[in-house]
Structure 1
Amino acid sequence: MSRPVADSPGIWQLFCGFCTVGLFGFGGVLPWARQMMVDRRRWVSEAQFNELLTVGQFFPGPNIANVSIIYGRRVHGLAGALAAVLGLYLFPTIITVLAGFAYTKWWGNPAVQQVFGAIMPIASGLILGTTLRMLRAMPRSLANYCAFALTFILMGVWVLPLWMVLLVCIPCSFALGFYRPKA
């Protein structure tokens, strides 16, 4: 059962929410953004988040940046879009610049390399957990399950580039959506 969606955030709340996502989103911000927007602040429902992400994937650039821009624009126009995307990138930019300096100085240390190797499974688990939660909100139909399976096979098993996956999956998804088996 889904909880009701809260009122739209103010511009400052939008900025601070996406600052939090950017600050804690090591290894990928999608799980953090979903948790912040759906579970904690209830700005959108699971289905609305899935819709934002779906639209965001069709534009160039990082998906979650597109989600922040689309959502920010939806609730506060250009100022909301700027607040969300600036919030999202403020801390990661500062951290990345500082990490670049640290990388050149300490990357040869085996302990540093071991720490980063230990973080990889955590990032993978976060992505898988988010995927499973998004599947819960997906409308249950044979067409949707087939589109999901086709996308997974093309991307996860055959490791095709994203543009090829979209080139195949979009027409197939439309066709599957219109297909109605005879009773």
Structure 2
Amino acid sequence: MSAVPADDERAKIPPLTLFRAFMSIGLSGFGGVLPFARRELVDRRNWMTDTEFAEMLGVAQVLPGPNIINISVWFGTKHAGALGAIAAFTGLCGVPLVMLIAIATLYGRYAGAPRVGAAVDGMASAAAGLIIGTGITLFRRAKPNYRSSAVLALVFVAAAFLRVPLLLIIAVAAPLGVFAAGKRA
């Protein structure tokens, strides 16, 4: 794996290249593309580091809208301005949108078939596994201190077991995470 390019080199990603990269991401996942985005942007293209990806994801999670769309727009803007944002967003959503319309039409017709239900359940499990795997990978590579790990544990317990509303989790965990990261720096 080659080193991550300097910031000035990364700023020169043409919109068509952004479109193709995000189209590849959009076509890679079913039920969630975050793991594929990380692999494409960090491992394959070396456009950002794991830390940069984790930071961008952290901000994307507190913004309204789907995380991957927030990342595509932010990343595209950062590297090619407004045209880059449009290219990344369109690449991510364009072809999958056409496929979604076709699949939704078929699903509407065959939703009652037992095999269709089983297939949907299987895809949901696979998507959850990919998200968990990406989280574990980011956690390992970030090498968080004990304060950051404690915030992670609190968020996990609050969301998974206590069913605390997401907005309340964000309102409490965001300042705690900033405090934990500030102590680390």
Q: TM-score, normalization: structure 2?
A: 0.89
Partner residue, 1:118: 122
- Tell me if structure 1 keeps the 8 A contact 2:30–2:123: no
- Tell me if structure 2 keeps the 8 A contact 1:5–1:45: yes
Sort the Cα spacing of 1:132 and 1:105 in 2 relative to 1 into closer, same or farther, 3 A.
Answer: same
Q: Distance in 1 between matches of 2:140 and 2:71?
A: 20
Partner residue, 1:70: 74
Q: Distance in 2 between matches of 1:101 and 1:179?
A: 52
- The offset of 1:96, in angstroms, is 1.2
- Tell me if structure 1 keeps the 8 A contact 2:25–2:92: yes
Partner residue, 2:91: 87
The percentage of aligned residue pairs carrying the same residue is 34
Number of residue equivalences: 179
Q: Distance in 2 between matches of 1:143 and 1:94?
A: 44
Please list every run of 5 or more consecutive structure 2 residues that lacks an aligned counterpart in the other structure. none
Q: Please tell me whether residue 149 in structure 1 is matched to residue 148 in structure 2.
A: no
Q: TM-score, normalization: structure 1?
A: 0.90
Partner residue, 1:5: 4
Q: For structure 1, which segment, 24-33 or 108-117, has the greater mean C-alpha deviation from structure 2 after superposition?
A: 108-117
Query: Alignment partner of 2:87: what SS?
Result: helix
Partner residue, 1:131: 135
Q: Distance in 2 between matches of 1:156 and 1:57?
A: 17
Q: Deviations over 1:156-176 (max 9, x none)?
A: 221222111011112323444
Query: Alignment partner of 2:163: what SS?
Result: coil
Please list every run of 5 or more consecutive structure 1 residues that lacks an aligned counterpart in the other structure. none
Q: Distance in 2 between matches of 1:170 and 1:161?
A: 14
Sort the Cα spacing of 1:38 and 1:179 in 2 relative to 1 into closer, same or farther, 3 A.
Answer: closer
